[in-house]
Structure 1
Amino acid sequence: MDARTLAALAANPGCGRRAVLDAAGVDKGALAERLGTPGAMGQSPFAITRGLVFERRLRADGCAELVALLRRTLLPEGDEQAPVEVPDLLVKEGAAVRAARTRSVLAEAASRPGVWTVLDHPLLRMEVAGSTVSLEPDAVVVRPDGRWTVLEIKSFPILDGSADPAKVGAAARQAAVYVLALRATAAALEGTTLPASPYAEPEGMAAAPSTTGLLVCPRDFSNAPTAASVDLRKQIAVTRRQLARLTRVEQLLDVLPSGASLEDTPHSVDALPHAYSPDCLAACELAFHCRTQARAAGAVETLGRGIRAELGGITTVEEALAATTPGGELARAAELRREALAMGAGMDVTPAAATTSARDLAVVP
């Protein structure tokens, strides 16, 4: 799993199907092709190439341009002359060694006030639903005061000081995952324990990750970098609560027979519970497959999470339509609402008017 995967899981924590497939490392795009429901996910080759060129520019000459941008954006006047170090973290001994190297550099940087340290592609680890997840932020900056700031480098432009809200939101959700991983790393370095409750904020940590991230993007239509601060508090709180709600993978696997293959047996995939909503179309390669199943079952989830939440115990479109007919639950609710409003306005309520109101509330697919 990576930050993009965890952000998608946090947005839909009830989807056991995605949780198992991501934990198993299954290529969901290829699986969707075999199931006959391919999705149109992923970036265009042009966007990928633009992103690679932009990142190479920032990291050239020991991250010289990135450091210059950070000096202009983050360094207050009193710290303009503070040294900036960029340690080498790209060791070749494997993920475990890279994660240990990252922890060592973070501990050393936190113990040296007055020095700015830029960690280029550090490797962080944390536990999610019983599994160890390795995460690789674009960069992490350690300030002279010991605060850690997550940098997200993206290829979409910031035009006249603003950017696409959907893309900024996706970047913020990923950055929130990195902040949670940094909190786990800081707690391990200091020998402390993070709060068990997903609603509680950690306290008393010397090296506390900042809840404000830094988004680095091309400025206007050029390839010159610019930066903007992003408040991550909401995304951190939501992601922390949602990740805490994830069901452990071994429990999800109980529905599968021994030796089942997720890549070669469609029946095994269909046996895993899913939680489809229209939001999945922008975040999951299996969205079209799950949508087909949800439509075949007449599930109200196909109409959106808002409608699903408002309908309460009504789980199918057929039940919802039946409830809008005279004598149905929704028709009766509409009649009571109209009566209550009429009492306050001094209006007469006729059965015909109540029936019309009920039809206005009908749910249609």
Structure 2
Amino acid sequence: MSASLDSGPPPPPPRTPTTTLRRRLAELRGPAVPARPLDARALAALAANPGCRRRALLDGAGVDKGALAEAIGSPSAAFGQSQFAFMRGNAFEAKVKGDGGTELLRLLHERTGAGAEPPRDVLAPDLAAAGPEGRAARTALALREATAAGGWAFLDHPMLALEVAGSPAYLEPDAVVVHPDGRWTVVEIKSFPMIDATADPSKVGAAARQSAVYVLALERVAAVTEGASVHHSVLLVCPKDFSNLPTASVIDVRRQLSVTRRQLTRLARIEDLADALPPGTTFDLDGQSGESLAAAVEAVPAVYAPDCLAACELAFHCRDRARAEGEVTALGRSLRGELGGLTTIGEVLSAARGASGDPDDPTVAAVRRAAALRTEAFACRS
């Protein structure tokens, strides 16, 4: 990858929501309902579809989208790990991190430390604290102390904070390693295998997008830590072949980092989304009918794409609405980009028949040409 790719300035520190905003978000999800925390997977999905205000608001308010989908009579999109895979992943992570992260640091040195001394006398600070805010503060302090000490440090499940649409999100990477030269490296541990040193590209891509969110959050801490820098290559640790032995690969996430930073800055602020709702709108499942909840969901604009099926519990509901309204986004983002100002299937068909559209518009001309070729092909076949 080109070295000229600018990582951009570090993100600003997260701001604590005002009491009014906290109260408003609590009203949206239900006063007695605890907020579901944002994680790196959710932030990566938000960054991939920043135009979807529905997901931005529901995730920002901590609404349980799976329960909401069932309440409005729509099946919740099934994704994520099975219970067996979850247990296997935890067992593999414990194996990799055993003995103070010795095996993990060996893999890191093997992949990135050519010519350097193997890690010795590794510091493993205690990151325990009350609540996510306390843990994030304790993690930041541990990172500063480890960097100042000038040695190796292994942080197991640190807590990082990142502002998203005006509200703080707390993220928990598998591990962060501090190098003696002040570099910080994110470590992501996955249970899918690397067979002959190659893993499933789609799974590696998802891990890279998730890791980019962690790197983005780490940059905020590094910006106020003397001598610190965040490595833009993360260490991905997976089982080797069909065994339970760990192996690792270094992934450059500068491209994912640039995209994630740009897309997250495009997200509308949560307070603006909440203020735009009709008075009395709430997603509280207690005492509300499915019809009223569906009306509340429809009050927030959504942008559906087939990719949502792998990342959002409301994907089936949004897909049905997009199909009913003839939105071309239901056919995929690439096609939506090709069709320019033609946003519905009806507009596309009308332009293809010559009933509407500017003939000088390249998109209209291309659609009409495609329709003519189709007609010609069917005529030849007959």
Question: Do the two structures share a fold, i.e. TM-score over 0.5?
Answer: yes
- Residue 145 of structure 1 deviates from its aligned partner by 1.1
In structure 1, how many angstroms separate the alpha carbons of the residues matched to 2:69 and 2:90? 27
Residue of structure 2 equivalent to 1:8: 45
Residue of structure 2 equivalent to 1:156: 192
- Residue 207 of structure 1 deviates from its aligned partner by 1.2
Q: Is 2:313 the partner of 1:288? A: no
Residue of structure 2 equivalent to 1:84: 122
Q: Is 2:373 the partner of 1:357? A: yes
Instruction: Name which one, 1 or 2, has greater alpha-carbon Rg.
Output: 1
Percentage of pairs with the same residue: 55
- Residue 34 of structure 1 deviates from its aligned partner by 1.4
Residue of structure 2 equivalent to 1:117: 153
In structure 2, how many angstroms separate the alpha carbons of the residues matched to 1:262 and 1:10? 23
Give the TM-score of the pair, scaled to structure 1.
0.84
In structure 1, how many angstroms separate the alpha carbons of the residues matched to 2:310 and 2:136? 31
Residue of structure 2 equivalent to 1:211: 232
Q: Is 2:56 the partner of 1:19? A: yes
In structure 2, how many angstroms separate the alpha carbons of the residues matched to 1:101 and 1:145? 21
Give the TM-score of the pair, scaled to structure 2.
0.81
* Equivalent position SS for 2:208: helix
In structure 2, how many angstroms separate the alpha carbons of the residues matched to 1:271 and 1:180? 32
In structure 2, how many angstroms separate the alpha carbons of the residues matched to 1:69 and 1:266? 50
- Residue 267 of structure 1 deviates from its aligned partner by 1.2
Q: Is 2:292 the partner of 1:255? A: no
In structure 1, how many angstroms separate the alpha carbons of the residues matched to 2:119 and 2:156? 21
Name the CA shift for 1:354/1:86 in 2 (closer, same or farther; >3 Å). closer
Question: Which amino acid in the other structure matches residue 260 of structure 2?
Answer: T
- Residue 279 of structure 1 deviates from its aligned partner by 1.1
In structure 2, how many angstroms separate the alpha carbons of the residues matched to 1:360 and 1:278? 31
Name the CA shift for 1:57/1:11 in 2 (closer, same or farther; >3 Å). same
RMSD over aligned CA atoms reads 2.5
In structure 2, how many angstroms separate the alpha carbons of the residues matched to 1:248 and 1:337? 38
* Equivalent position SS for 2:223: helix
- Residue 67 of structure 1 deviates from its aligned partner by 3.0
Residue of structure 2 equivalent to 1:238: 259
Unpaired segments ≥5 residues, structure 2: 1-37, 286-292, 378-382
Name the CA shift for 1:354/1:76 in 2 (closer, same or farther; >3 Å). closer
- Residue 88 of structure 1 deviates from its aligned partner by 2.1
Work out whether residues 179 and 209 of structure 1, in 8 Å CA contact, stay in contact via their aligned partners in 2. yes
Question: Which amino acid in the other structure matches residue 124 of structure 1?
Answer: L
State how 1:1-365 maps to structure 2 within 5 Å.
1-38=38-75, 39-80=77-118, 82-89=120-127, 91-113=128-150, 115-190=151-226, 206-264=227-285, 265-326=293-354, 328-329=356-357, 356-357=372-373, 359=375
- Residue 79 of structure 1 deviates from its aligned partner by 1.8
Question: Which amino acid in the other structure matches residue 78 of structure 1?
Answer: A
In structure 2, how many angstroms separate the alpha carbons of the residues matched to 1:121 and 1:315? 44
- Residue 45 of structure 1 deviates from its aligned partner by 1.9
Q: Residues 222-267 of structure 1, C-alpha deviation per residue, up to 9 Å, x if partnerless?
A: 1111110001010000000000100001111123233422143221
In structure 2, how many angstroms separate the alpha carbons of the residues matched to 1:137 and 1:267? 37
Question: Which amino acid in the other structure matches residue 357 of structure 1?
Answer: L
Q: Residues 288-346 of structure 1, C-alpha deviation per residue, up to 9 Å, x if partnerless?
A: 000111111111111111221122221211110111114654877599679xxxxxxxx
In structure 2, how many angstroms separate the alpha carbons of the residues matched to 1:239 and 1:208? 19
In structure 2, how many angstroms separate the alpha carbons of the residues matched to 1:360 and 1:103? 66
Work out whether residues 335 and 357 of structure 1, in 8 Å CA contact, stay in contact via their aligned partners in 2. no
- Residue 93 of structure 1 deviates from its aligned partner by 2.1
- Residue 162 of structure 1 deviates from its aligned partner by 0.5
Question: Which amino acid in the other structure matches residue 258 of structure 1?
Answer: P
* Equivalent position SS for 2:149: coil
In structure 2, how many angstroms separate the alpha carbons of the residues matched to 1:331 and 1:222? 61
Work out whether residues 106 and 119 of structure 2, in 8 Å CA contact, stay in contact via their aligned partners in 1. no
In structure 2, how many angstroms separate the alpha carbons of the residues matched to 1:37 and 1:118? 44
